[in-house]
Structure 1
Amino acid sequence: MIKAPRTILFDFDGTLAPNLDLPDMRRQVIELTRANQVPEDIWRDHYIVEIITASRDWMLTQQMAAAERYFAAAHQLITDIELQAAQRTRVFDWVPSVLTQLRSLSVRSTVITRNCEEAVRLTFPDIEVFADGLFARDNSQHLKPDPRHFIEAMSSTSADADSTWIVSDGAMDMRTGRTVGLGCIGVLSGSNNRDQLIEAGAHVVLSDASELLQLPALSSLI
């Protein structure tokens, strides 16, 4: 059984807000990458941001003058996609209430995401009112699934792994959370199903994060 948390790390897209169309974003980044003559074996098994970095690094080894232009254009592409989605998206209706209730129980809430900060703030304009921190792609030194992204976010609240949960729709976050030693709460509001989340290491799977306060470890604090 997982302990009551003092800090909860929340993924954003698919957890606190509707999912981004990541497959289409990946398709567009791959299209740009192919146009820059980067071999598929350089980027095939990478996540989107890592495709861009690996491809830029390969282009530099080939002394290709377009390497930094590609890197900037690819990052601008994903940022534009995120911002366009954010213009028509808001967090789920229950988010302010749940985060407020968690704070009343002295549980801190921190958002940890691969999305850009501007898109998160467009989707959740009052984030600073309800959350204690935001660790996005452009204001973090490391990016999940690198465990240091989680550790950086935990450090901001002086939390230790034993009293921290990760709440996410992503199997990647369940695996990273297990690596760090967190309580791992999967939610079905995004991209993965129950079996995928459990296989990745989820201790508990909920329909969505509005059900958090029904968990015994949290309801015992009420």
Structure 2
Amino acid sequence: MIDTILYLLFSICYLTLLILSIKPIKKRYVSIYMVFLPLVMVGLIYDNTIISMGSFIGEGNVLLLLSMFRFWFHALFTPTLVLFAYGVAKHFNLQWANKLIFKIIFLISTLALISYEIIETINKNPEILREYGIVRYTLVGASGPPLMVITVAFILLIVGVSLYRKTRWTIMMIGVVLMIVGSAIPINLPSTAITNFFELIFICSLFLTQRYVTFSIRDKE
């Protein structure tokens, strides 16, 4: 029951961040690259909501269908954080970000990661998982480490470190590091929501970075 409440709270937090993050975009305070962060938030709102409802819906075709949307949102939306990172780097005129080759690399990397995730999602099989009162489907199959997540985190870390070196903004870098550490180190707690908690901290750090971009634009006006 506690995990159910936690996942629901995560959804509420993401919904709040989503509303706040789209306001600068609607008012054209930031570049189009910033739209990819709200896109990822939409997927996370759906993901956490469906997980919180799993025990009420129960195992079966309905939960399986709803879960498949979770998997596809993850595959299609999460890699676009690479473009969000490029937008941040471009805005602050990081030296390497002003070169056309890096724009092409970021774009190709995003498309490659989406393609990879599509193949992974198709080739894996959904399996029911019951832990600590949570009932949800997960994808299983022959696979190595989560290549897409690792690659996205690595790119965001590079941009976060570069941003810190130029502007002394630490939030993005710290958020990525905390997510990596929280996902890599096993934490012995009776909950399935620990990884999602670190994921929320990570998204909050990107949201604050988006706000940093917004305020820096306003200061120039």
TM-score (normalised: structure 2): 0.29
Say which structure is richer in strand.
1
